[in-house]
Amino acid sequence: MKKVMVVMGGLSSERSISLISGSGVAEALKATGYDVITYDLTADIKDFVDTLYQEKPDVVFNALHGRYGEDGCIQGVLNLMGIPYTHSGVMASSIGMNKEMTRRIIREAGIAVAEGRIVSVADIRENRDLPMPYVLKPNDEGSSLGVSIIRTSADKENFLKTASPDKKMLMEAYIPGRELSVVILDDEAIGVVEIIPQKGYYDFNNKYTAGAAEHVIPAQLPKDVYDLAMAEALKAHRVLMCNGTSRSDFRLDDETEPEHPRLVFLEINTNPGMTQLSLVPEVVRVCRGLSYQDLVARLVEEASCGK
């Protein structure tokens, strides 16, 4: 049986979620019979490389989230060492982590995105912003960390009070309607989930607090809309050359013109969470009958290097 190193933790603001994902993955792989070791990544990259040389894993399961783990950095190290790893390679990871670069490529592929651009805090302060409502989000963070919805002048002023003067953000027009996510596994669209938060929007707390959001699987949508979401997510996965699994998030605007619902791409996650509340394991279980253990084993068996 293969020796698998589960790498988790990391240096990003998503460290706590990565540790939960990694622990779950490690336990599932052990239960399946793999020889499993875990590694909590820190800034000591020499120790990481030394450990890889000492342990000689057959596969690295990348359970890192956010910067330095999901953006191509660790993938590059593993490529140089010739060690297969789960999820996407350097290029797909680095592009997918950069929301504005992803938007440009996705738009060129013919997928609808919201009007938006990179702005500075000075741009916002000097009224060089989009008409309200709009969304501000970090260009290279996940888990909805740092997201602000600006609906009123008061929202804007509150944001400006705490924003770092040199901070740059992705500004997008707010898309009303429904929150959808589509899971891709092994170059196949698996299913669409609708996320319905109990209050607010699907922020960090709603993602990782039990009972804070309802997951409707499969999403109750008209067949043409459901099929379009599946097709657009698979196109995004392919055009970015993702590997293993990915999750693409959309908004379905069925409020502005109910007779003409509009599906709008938001972002792609090339290394989705693997916690008990994460969408990918849940969608795969409901739509394909694969258990959590089945899923992580499948990702290990299809791990590659250099893609």
Grouped pLDDT means (10 residues each) for the chain, 307 residues: 95 90 96 97 94 97 92 95 96 95 96 95 90 90 71 93 84 96 97 84 48 87 97 98 96 91 96 90 97 97 85
> Is 104 among the catalytic positions?
no
Whether 264 contacts 114, CB under 8 Å: yes
Q: Which residue has the tokens 């770092």?
A: 164
Structure tokens at 166: 């040199």
Q: Which of 34, 134, 208, 292 is catalytic?
A: 208
Catalytic annotation on 143?
yes
Give the global pTM: 0.91
pLDDT of residue 12: 87
Instruction: Provide the 3-class DSSP secondary structure of residue 19.
Output: helix
Q: Does 174 participate in catalysis according to the annotation? A: no
From the CB of residue 42, how many other CB atoms can be counted at a distance below 10 Å?
Answer: 12
Is residue 292 flagged as an active site residue? Answer: no
Q: Is 301 a catalytic residue?
A: no
d(CA 230, CA 181): 9
Q: What is the CA radius of gyration of the chain?
A: 19
**Neighbouring residues of 126: CB distance < 8 A, sequence distance ≥ 6:** none
* Residue type for position 203: D
- 249 catalytic per annotation: yes
Active-site residue 224, yes or no?
A: no
Residues 6+ apart with CB under 8 A from 104: none
Position 144 scores a pLDDT of 52
Question: Of 10, 12, 14, 24, which is the active-site residue?
Answer: 14
Name the E strands within the chain. 3-9, 35-41, 59-62, 116-120, 134-137, 148-150, 168-173, 178-185, 188-197, 213-216, 245-253, 262-269
Query: Distance of CA 13 to CAs 42, 64, 254, 299, Å?
Result: 13, 11, 33, 25
Q: Whose CA is closest to 214, among 231, 204, 225, 202?
A: 202
Catalytic choice (12, 21, 93, 143)? 143
Q: One of 232, 247, 251, 278 is an active-site residue; which one? A: 247
The residue among 95, 154, 18 whose CA lies nearest residue 7 is 18
Which residues, other chains included, contact 264 with Cβ-Cβ below 8 Å and sequence gap of 6+?
112, 113, 114, 175, 250, 251, 252, 253
The one-letter amino acid code at 287 reads C
Tokens of 174: 């707010």
Please check whether residue 210 is in contact with residue 235, taking contact to mean a CB–CB distance below 8 angstroms.
Answer: no
Distance CA 179, CA 196 (A): 7
Active site residue 157: no
Q: Which of 23, 246, 253 is nearest to 142 (CA)?
A: 246
Contacts of 107 (CB under 8 A, 6+ apart): 113
pLDDT for res 307: 63
Instruction: Please tell me the distance from the alpha carbon of residue 97 to that of residue 92, in angstroms, as a whole number.
Output: 8
CB-CB contact of 75 with 294 (8 Å):
no
Q: For residue 214, give the 3-state DSSP assignment.
A: strand
Residue given tokens 């109750």 in the structure block: 220
